[in-house]
Amino acid sequence: MKKHYYKITDGSNIEGINKTGLLGSGKDLHGWYDTKIEGILDIYNKGYPVGSIEPIHDPKEIELYNQQCPKPIDPVSLIPRINWSVIERVKESTEIKEIDFDCLDTPEESIQHILTGLERGEVGSLVSSGGTGKSYLALHNSMLMSLGLPSHLSRSQIPRKVLYLSLEDKIKGIRNRARRIFKSEQWGENEKKVIKKNFRAIPTRLCLYDENKDPNWVKINDLFKDKPHPDLLIIDTARRAHNLDENSSGDMNAYMSLLEAIGERYQCAVLILHHTSKAATWGKARGEDVGAGAARGSSAVVDNGRGTWVMVKLPKDYAKGLTDEERSRCVLLEHEKCNAERALDPAILERTPEGILKPLSDELKNKINGEKEKSKESPSKKENGGFLS
């Protein structure tokens, strides 16, 4: 067998490439191959300067790689390393494009939002404290969206394909939750067929990064292999999908860039489920407006995202008229950040005995509205909002 020795460079001289995992570190690709691979990157990199293959001729280096590489490197391992969306962004970032304002009197360009305010290639987050019901809400939202029905996170009535990655719950638990949602909505055989066609749920322990903290594109690509690409990818939860420091703005910037790259490569929106900080949880309970910054860890998760929903146990200011037991069944869902269109209205949701979050029952709504009417008569009392009228 003839050996061909090469070094792989990963384009790290181009700003933004190395940190987003175009070719990882490239070091594990140095060595010998059983075939010539000159030009392989030219085939796959669309002509952009994203890396190079350099033949090795130095006898000392050849001897070194003979010792380090007991078998040839598979050239196919190069292909998943190439992150097309990053290449496109780097290319765009190096080009100065001036807007032609002849467009001002032309029709608006259509923008397709998958979730409200979130289009393909963009990342949003659903933030709440543990045990609030975000996983249940995400599963319910997925089933509604697959049928083209409005949900708590979207006004759209277009059937969507959804891929839901559960990194916490096991398969039996997810199936049981789906059964309860299906039964509570009183769906039938027709809805079952559409959900089966449009919705994929995968319990997994997938980490989006390898042990060297480089993006694990091989495993990421396997999720989409031989399947129709989803319109929405949901990751439950954000923390379990990486091995980085969630308090580091640098690490979380890289994480959000990877999620955007996944969204752009597979033309889907990405929603991550994330936990609130302890301070935000307690602040919200006291009636403080913690806004989109409720997320735990670095603010880069919210800052770099294009949409944020925050869900908390119903604050006392909103629960006037309710007993403690009734309040414990309710959560407040607010669309705190929405860059592209009008945010969804705040919603109070009530947890059923099965754990499903449903719109507030008439009984509890009447209690809150009754207390609100009383507060109108007493200006000194703070109103609990007008969205239940």
Per-position pLDDT tens, the chain of length 389: 677 666 665 444 433 333 333 344 445 555 666 666 554 443 333 333 445 566 777 788 777 777 777 777 665 555 444 444 444 444 454 456 788 899 899 998 888 899 999 999 999 999 998 889 999 999 999 999 999 999 999 999 999 999 999 999 999 999 999 999 999 999 999 999 999 999 999 999 999 988 888 888 888 888 988 888 999 999 998 999 999 999 998 889 889 989 998 898 888 999 999 998 655 555 555 555 555 557 778 888 999 999 999 999 998 888 989 999 999 999 999 999 998 889 999 999 999 999 999 999 999 999 888 776 676 666 544 444 444 43
Residue 388, in any domain of the structure: no
Long-range contact set of residues 349-354: C-beta below 8 Å, sequence gap at least 24: 349/133, 349/137, 349/152, 351/133, 352/184, 354/180, 354/184
Residue 65, in any domain of the structure: yes
Q: Are 372 and 224 in a shared domain?
A: yes
Q: Going by C-beta distance under 8 Å and a sequence separation of 6 or more, which residues neighbour residue 274?
A: 125, 126, 127, 237, 238, 239, 295, 296, 301
Residue 96, in any domain of the structure: no
Q: What is the DSSP letter of 295?
A: B
Q: Which two tokens stand for residue 133?
A: 């019901």
Q: Are 67 and 200 in a shared domain?
A: no
Query: Which strands sit side by side in the sheet containing 232-236, from one edge to the other?
Result: 199-203, 162-166, 232-236, 269-275, 123-128, 307-313, 330-338, 347-351, 357-359
Residue 102, in any domain of the structure: no
Count the Cβ atoms, other than its own, within 10 Å of residue 177.
21
- Which amino acid, one-letter code, is at 170? K
pLDDT at 60: 81
CA distance 134 to 325: 20
Q: Are 186 and 316 in a shared domain?
A: yes
pLDDT at 48: 39
* Maximum CA extent, the chain: 91
Q: Are 67 and 120 in a shared domain?
A: no
Q: Are 345 and 244 in a shared domain?
A: yes
Q: Are 221 and 363 in a shared domain?
A: yes
Q: Are 284 and 139 in a shared domain?
A: yes
Q: What is the DSSP letter of 69?
A: -
CA distance 225 to 364: 47
pLDDT at 217: 80
For the chain, state the CA radius of gyration: 25
CATH of the domain at 241: 3.40.50.300
Residue 101, in any domain of the structure: no
Q: What is the DSSP letter of 19?
A: G
Q: Are 9 and 118 in a shared domain?
A: no
User: Can you list the alpha helix ranges (DSSP code H) found in 45-170?
Assistant: 59-68, 84-93, 134-146
Q: Are 208 and 274 in a shared domain?
A: yes
pLDDT at 211: 82
- Per the rule left: phi > 0, alpha: psi between -120 and 50, beta: everything else, 122 is beta
Q: Are 41 and 158 in a shared domain?
A: no
Q: What is the pLDDT of residues 195-220, one digit of tens each?
A: 999 999 999 999 998 888 888 888 88
The answer to whether the bond into 237 is cis (omega within 30° of 0) is yes
The domain containing residue 47 runs over which residues? 4-91
- Chain position carrying tokens 């293959």: 53
SS3 of residue 307 by DSSP:
strand
Residue 57, in any domain of the structure: yes
Residue 98, in any domain of the structure: no
Residue 219, in any domain of the structure: yes
Count the Cβ atoms, other than its own, within 10 Å of residue 190.
9
Q: Are 121 and 73 in a shared domain?
A: no
**187 in Cβ contact with 178 (< 8 Å):** no
Q: Are 143 and 227 in a shared domain?
A: yes
Q: How many domains does the chain have?
A: 2
pLDDT at 344: 95
Count the Cβ atoms, other than its own, within 10 Å of residue 131.
8
CA distances from 301 to 242, 248, 256, 260, 346 (A): 13, 10, 7, 12, 22
Q: What is the pLDDT of residues 241-269, one digit of tens each?
A: 999 999 998 889 889 989 998 898 888 99
